[in-house]
Amino acid sequence: MALPTQPDSDVAAPPGSSFTALIKRHAEALGFNKIGIVPAEALSVEARQLKEWLGRGYQAQMSWMERDVEQRLDHRLHFPDAKSVVVVALNYFTPAKHDDDPATGKVSRYAWGDDYHDVVGTKLRSLLAWIKDRYPKTEGKVCVDIQPTLDKAWAVRAGLGWLGKHTNVITTEFGSWIFIGELLLNVDLVYDSDQIEDHCGTCTLCIDACPTQAITEPYVVDSNKCISYATIELREPQLPESIAEHLSGWVYGCDICQDVCPWNRFEQVTSEDRFQPRAGNVNASLTELLELSPKTYAERFRGSAMKRAKLAGLQRNAKALL
């Protein structure tokens, strides 16, 4: 299929079906594994679920979840011209394995390589630049986790996968080892309407395996009880005793609920080199973490998602394991 020629600058929007297909093809060429496009409409069912979750206090100290709630439910409140949402998934699985050396702490798989915010964001900005080069009147906004948006809800709506009982999006092709991002556009495109059926069935392996019972019921996680939340987001000098006693060797994040998921037997190795594990990012030496200074910490975790926990948080976690 030939690329469209550069249109006159007065053309405000691309043709629907042909350009929609080209956007998807170029997104795949940039390395995205799954792409779905849906209209930028307000989320309704998710609104009730989010407000109920917040009402229970399950956001713990993540106070930003309480801010801009309406923006999280409607892209048009932070990008008023939004008409289409291009939702993408990027497989990050690599076949390295944790070891059980008590002198080290296990790191969540998503943080083994380069920071996904940078990787996914760079690809989406490239996609937007490609679109604008062909249709200069097109405007867009890139969203990768840090913007007020419900990434997982949009991935489900766009038909990329379904929300598992552990609250991660599961795909039939890559399991749950995916990063999600969105590109908001001010143009109408041809939209996907098919969604993936929930294939969790009667399985409760993720709920049963969680050592802190953080999955309080199917599809609901209480962050106050979550090892991943505590070791990454919690800004307290000590971990809660209920967490510290059940770390199971985790120093940054936790993958237990994903590791036991039967759908992750369909994992495929990522083609993105930037997700290959950095030295010391699969199992981190606890003594090395404790010896880090602010300077060596900044150098060690430059461009890594592990910087999210801050130096104080990583050293607190290392002490708890020791």
Residue 12 is predicted with a pLDDT of 46
Q: Is the model's pLDDT at 13 over the cut of 80?
A: no
Active site residues per annotation: 145
Residue 45 is predicted with a pLDDT of 92
Q: Is residue 139 a contact partner of residue 174, using CB atoms and an 8 Å limit?
A: no
Instruction: Residue 26: name the closest of 260, 214, 192, 183 by CA.
Output: 183
Question: pLDDT, tens digit, for every residue of 204-247?
Answer: 999 999 999 999 999 999 999 999 999 999 999 999 999 999 99
pLDDT band at 16 (very low <50, low <70, confident <90, very high): low
Question: In Å, how far are 23, 103, 240, 314 from 244, measured between CA atoms?
Answer: 47, 16, 6, 13
Q: Is the model's pLDDT at 1 over the cut of 50?
A: no
Question: pLDDT, tens digit, for every residue of 242-274?
Answer: 999 999 999 999 999 999 999 999 899 999 999
Angle at 77 between CA 74 and CA 80, to 5 degrees: 110
Domain range for residue 98? Answer: 1-322
CA 255, CA 268: separation in Å to the nearest integer? 17
Q: Is residue 22 a contact partner of residue 187, using CB atoms and an 8 Å limit?
A: no
Farthest CA pair distance, the chain: 65
Residues comprising the chain, all counted? 322
Question: pLDDT, tens digit, for every residue of 267-304?
Answer: 999 999 999 999 999 999 999 999 999 999 999 999 99
Question: pLDDT, tens digit, for every residue of 309-322?
Answer: 999 999 999 999 99
At 189, list the tokens. 């495109």
Residue 237 is predicted with a pLDDT of 97
54: burial class by Cβ within 10 Å (0-12, 13-18, 19+)? middle
Question: In Å, how far are 83, 85, 145, 293 from 50, measured between CA atoms?
Answer: 23, 20, 16, 39
Angle at 149 between CA 70 and CA 135, to 5 degrees: 110
Question: In Å, how far are 18, 93, 255, 315 from 273, measured between CA atoms?
Answer: 31, 11, 21, 29
pLDDT averaged over every residue in the chain:
94
CA 72, CA 60: separation in Å to the nearest integer? 18
Name every residue whose Cβ is closer than 8 Å to that of residue 293 and which is 6 or more positions away in sequence.
none
Residue 57 φ/ψ region, left for φ over 0, alpha for ψ in the -120 to 50 degree band, beta for the rest: left
Task: HSE, CB side, 13 Å, CA atoms: give it for residue 102.
Answer: 3
Q: What is the total count of domains within the chain? A: 1
CA 73, CA 69: separation in Å to the nearest integer? 7
Q: What is the mean pLDDT of residues 121-130?
A: 98
